[in-house]
Chain A
Amino acid sequence: MSVINAGLKTRGDFSKLQEQLKKSRQDKSSYIAVCGDTGCTVWGSKKVKNIVQDYLEKKGLGQKVGLKFTGCLGLCESGPDVMVFPQGIIYQKVMESDVEEIIDKTVLRGEVIERLLYQDPLTGQKYVYADDIPFYKKQERRLIGNNWTNDPTSIEDYLSLNGYEALVKVLTSMSGREVIEEVLKTRLRGRGGAGFPTGLKWEECYEAVSDRKFIICNADEGDPGAFMDRSLLEGNPHSVLEGLIIGGYAIGAAEGIIYIRAEYPTAVAKVRLAIAQAEEMGLLGENILGSNFNFRVSVSIGAGAFVCGETSALVASVEGRTGEPRQKPPHLAERGYLNKPTVINNVETLANVPFIIRYGADHYGLTGTERSKGTKIFSLVGKIVNTGLVEVPLGMTLREIIFDIGGGIKDGKEFKAVQTGGPSGGCLPASLLDSPTDFEELSAAGSMMGSGGMIVMDEDTCMVDIARYFLSFLEDESCGSCFTCREGISRMLEMVEDITRGNSSLEQLELLKELAQVVKDSTMCGLGQTSANPVFATLRYFEDEYMAHIIEKRCPAGVCRDLITLSINGELCEGCGACLKKCPGEAIQGEKKESHTIMQDKCTKCGICLETCKFDAVIKQ
């Protein structure tokens, strides 16, 4: 419920409202935060939230104890995550049946429920407070740190956490030029992939002369294995919106567009709500806070095309055409959306802007390395213990992120590689774990920062298969304008598929390398030029795996179907019949209580027997 009904008209109105909201939040310091991010909702957090609400009401605590359905709390693997404030106690894997106990014991009596606590997978130690858990302790959560105090559907929550203060500051005391200077000073680089300096992008558009300019927020998070932007939009949509409005003010645009992929329906809903709230509050629209600055934001929904991450393709898509990139220059700052000067910024880039304005470039620069300032959000996924969303200072080493924060590799397996930068990025081996995550260092090592997907791979991941996976992704996603990309990717994929089937030769491998170079050199857009990267990136550090497939006809990781066989160890098999019952190809035979065998001609290598066997009798070779 809004404290005031009419929109804010002046800076004074804003300050008064902010003060009221801060006070009301202090008065209600006891609350329960239930993670409402997609990850936890899948684990059932919505039901948990509803039960919390019902039970609070039943106990007559509705007025005394608050309830927030928040953005991502970080530890997605063991959701639903629930936190109890003011203490900051974190509970995991909370089931509906745990709710009453949490309220009766923890909320009312301050007692800790041991079984719901986070347990360190390595040391076995249990932690009560989120701040003490190594996963959180080593992070610097500038952009997502508010998540557990902020209900993303409440603009009042955001305002009480100093939200929109940066917007008020620029509207009342800074010129567009000064805003750009401040951002230039931070050396903020785009968080979406290419890493272009944001300040320079803004400056170019600021200088362009036009009756109309646009700023577009690129929320078409297309890299597989990356969900930072989705989480930001779902967890703190107002921070992105505030960044967008400030960006518009800086470059002199009166119209903003948020381009979101259709696969993120929750993010779309939260963003629409945020826009409506900001309009109602008078923070969007005509003559914002009496500053003569007008700004409107609309939402454009993508229809599913990876290539639309490329800026000129994105513009084509927003204009309602097929998303095919065009030759640049002219750059978008000159000719963008509707042929008008346009800036396109990534979600996370924009979320950094309010922080920069509020605290200043000097403070912002205290975190990060010499050339890469600030923090970066990564989605830490794959074969890792603590799958989740992490925000770290730029420059932190991969080892610290994967082992200290991520808790290391799942099921005690060996680390093999970490993939960053999406399909255009690369895979780094164990020998490079001490590389800092900074734009330059990652590029020098043969990968890239990209948008922030960090996929951890273990000994059971085949690197040739990874190359095949990305090529097949890119084959599907190539827009088809350039011959070398359209045909080149398909031919590279065929060659890599041959390798995974044991049908290749060293001559073919040389041909593959040559073709990869041709595709890189002769394709127009950035995505096309990097479409050979899956080949370069895996060959650079894992050529021995290619050799094993080509020369020994063997897949060391046991992934490539044509190079593995499944069989049953007669000594270990108890003849329980579990695999026989499950085998979809009816490829297993054997009498009850006697050892079974797999008929190779019928086996589809689906691996269900391997999964089913309780005696480890199924062998994969």
Chain B
Amino acid sequence: MKALEENLRLGQKDPHIQQNGSIISLLQEIQERYNYLPEDVLRDLAKKRNVSLMEIFSIATFYKSFSLTPKGKHKIVTCSGTACHVRGSEKVTREISRKLGIEPGSTTEDGEYSLESVNCLGACALAPLVVIDDQYFGSMSSAKILEIINGYATKDAACSCHAQTEEETPEAKTA
């Protein structure tokens, strides 16, 4: 069983972070460490902090950035802000969802990929935007994102967002 490690103390990393010991900040630290909020750690936290487990779960499920399930090896985040939406982000998300066979907010069974759709990442000039493992891919389309994910699947190096993939259709080029 995972235990809440003793060195998990607020404010050690940065003196400017709020030191009121709030559950939110503790959950943020736990999530940073484990990539999600493991149930046994939350139970341990409730005991050690003398807070009801119900309160911890109500916070953990209220805020979007917390996850009660483990994330995949590759974390795919699609931006669904308004700017991304009007440039077709929904289609992009749908294609990823179809390709991986999972809905946004879940992880593939083999633990390889998790998909998340977030409200706005504030990089609207690059709409539609997809972030995979903290690497940003701008001006996405259904076709481009499938190529990128295929690239991950075949362990190829992912192309950068500048490499606007050109289709290999010789017929088209001569036309």
Residues of A at the B interface (CB closer than 8 Å) are 38-39, 42-44, 76-77, 79, 95, 221-227, 230, 257, 262-264, 272, 275-276, 297-306, 317-323, 379, 381-383, 387-388, 419, 453, 455, 457, 461, 466, 469-470, 473, 477, 479, 574, 576-578, 582, 584, 604, 606-608, 611-612, 614-615
Q: Are A76 and B122 within 8 A (Cβ)?
A: no
Q: Are A584 and B99 within 8 A (Cβ)?
A: yes
Q: How far is it, in angstroms, between the C-alpha of A408 and the C-alpha of B85 when the chains are bound?
A: 19
- B88-125 residues at the A interface, CB under 8 angstroms: 88, 90-91, 94-95, 98-99, 118-125
Q: Are A303 and B63 within 8 A (Cβ)?
A: yes
Q: Are A43 and B138 within 8 A (Cβ)?
A: yes
14 sample A-B contacts, Cβ–Cβ < 8 Å, listed by A number? A38-B123, A76-B126, A77-B125, A263-B121, A305-B63, A305-B64, A320-B59, A323-B63, A387-B127, A578-B172, A584-B142, A607-B88, A608-B143, A615-B175
Q: Are B122 and A227 within 8 A (Cβ)?
A: yes
Which stretch, B1-9, B10-18, B38-46, touches the partner chain A? Answer: B10-18
Residues of A within 8 A of B171 (CB): 574, 576, 578
Q: How far is it, in angstroms, between the C-alpha of A304 and the C-alpha of B62 when the chains are bound?
A: 9
Residues of A within 8 A of B118 (CB): 263, 304
Contact of A306 among B85, B88, B119, B172 (CB under 8 A): B119
Given contacts A76-B126, A608-B141, 16 further A-B contacts (CB under 8 A): A42-B123, A79-B125, A223-B120, A272-B14, A299-B17, A301-B25, A319-B22, A387-B125, A388-B125, A469-B90, A576-B169, A584-B146, A607-B142, A608-B143, A608-B146, A615-B175
| A274: nearest chain-B partner, CB-CB | B16
A297-B126 contact, Cβ under 8 Å, with A263-B121, A305-B64: no
| A462: nearest chain-B partner, CB-CB | B86
Q: Are B142 and A606 within 8 A (Cβ)?
A: yes
A276-B16 contact, Cβ under 8 Å, with A227-B122, A319-B22: yes
Residues of B within 8 A of A323 (CB): 62-63
Q: Are A383 and B62 within 8 A (Cβ)?
A: no
A169, chain B: closest CB distance, angstroms: 26
Q: Are B122 and A230 within 8 A (Cβ)?
A: yes
Q: Are A39 and B85 within 8 A (Cβ)?
A: no
Q: How far is it, in angstroms, between the C-alpha of A487 and the C-alpha of B125 when the chains are bound?
A: 34
Residues of B at the A interface (CB closer than 8 Å) are 14, 16-25, 27-28, 58-59, 62-66, 80-83, 85-88, 90-91, 94-95, 98-99, 118-127, 129, 136, 138, 141-143, 146, 160-162, 167, 169, 171-172, 175
A227-B119 contact, Cβ under 8 Å, with A272-B14, A578-B172: no
Q: Are B28 and A301 within 8 A (Cβ)?
A: yes
A568, chain B: closest CB distance, angstroms: 15
Q: Are A39 and B125 within 8 A (Cβ)?
A: yes
Residues of A within 8 A of B90 (CB): 469
B116, chain A: closest CB distance, angstroms: 11
| A317: nearest chain-B partner, CB-CB | B24
Q: How far is it, in angstroms, between the C-alpha of A184 and the C-alpha of B107 when the chains are bound?
A: 52
Q: How far is it, in angstroms, between the C-alpha of A306 and the C-alpha of B120 when the chains are bound?
A: 11
Q: Are A257 and B16 within 8 A (Cβ)?
A: no
How many residue pairs between the two chains, A and B, have CB atoms under 8 Å in the bound complex? 190
Q: How far is it, in angstroms, between the C-alpha of A37 and the C-alpha of B89 when the chains are bound?
A: 22
Q: Are A297 and B16 within 8 A (Cβ)?
A: yes
Q: Are A299 and B18 within 8 A (Cβ)?
A: yes
A54, chain B: closest CB distance, angstroms: 20
Q: How far is it, in angstroms, between the C-alpha of A469 and the C-alpha of B87 when the chains are bound?
A: 13
Residues of A within 8 A of B136 (CB): 42
Q: Are B172 and A614 within 8 A (Cβ)?
A: yes
| A264: nearest chain-B partner, CB-CB | B122
A203, chain B: closest CB distance, angstroms: 28
Q: How far is it, in angstroms, between the C-alpha of A262 and the C-alpha of B32 when the chains are bound?
A: 12
A614-B169 contact, Cβ under 8 Å, with A224-B80, A383-B87, A608-B142: yes
Q: Are B175 and A303 within 8 A (Cβ)?
A: no
The interface centre, meaning the residue of B21, B126, B138 with most chain A CB atoms within 10 A of its CB, is: B126
Contact of A225 among B81, B161, B175 (CB under 8 A): B81
Residues of B within 8 A of A574 (CB): 171-172, 175
A351, chain B: closest CB distance, angstroms: 17
Q: Are B62 and A305 within 8 A (Cβ)?
A: yes
Q: Are B126 and A39 within 8 A (Cβ)?
A: yes
Residues of B within 8 A of A470 (CB): 82
Q: Are B63 and A42 within 8 A (Cβ)?
A: no
| B121: nearest chain-A partner, CB-CB | A263
Q: How far is it, in angstroms, between the C-alpha of A381 and the C-alpha of B122 when the chains are bound?
A: 10
Contact of A607 among B83, B91, B129, B138 (CB under 8 A): B91
| B146: nearest chain-A partner, CB-CB | A584
Q: Are A611 and B172 within 8 A (Cβ)?
A: no
Residues of A within 8 A of B81 (CB): 224-225
A147, chain B: closest CB distance, angstroms: 15
A275-B172 contact, Cβ under 8 Å, with A39-B125, A304-B64, A453-B82: no
Q: Are A224 and B119 within 8 A (Cβ)?
A: yes
Q: How far is it, in angstroms, between the C-alpha of A479 and the C-alpha of B94 when the chains are bound?
A: 26
| A320: nearest chain-B partner, CB-CB | B22
Q: Are A303 and B83 within 8 A (Cβ)?
A: no
Q: How far is it, in angstroms, between the C-alpha of A79 and the C-alpha of B18 when the chains are bound?
A: 36
Residues of A within 8 A of B175 (CB): 574, 614-615
A455-B91 contact, Cβ under 8 Å, with A39-B126, A77-B125, A299-B17: no
| B160: nearest chain-A partner, CB-CB | A44
Q: How far is it, in angstroms, between the C-alpha of A443 and the C-alpha of B82 when the chains are bound?
A: 20
Residues of B within 8 A of A604 (CB): 94, 98
Residues of B within 8 A of A382 (CB): 82-83, 86-87, 124, 127
A44-B162 contact, Cβ under 8 Å, with A574-B171, A584-B95: yes
| B14: nearest chain-A partner, CB-CB | A272
A383-B17 contact, Cβ under 8 Å, with A264-B122, A303-B28, A611-B141: no
Residues of A within 8 A of B124 (CB): 76, 225, 227, 379, 381-382, 387
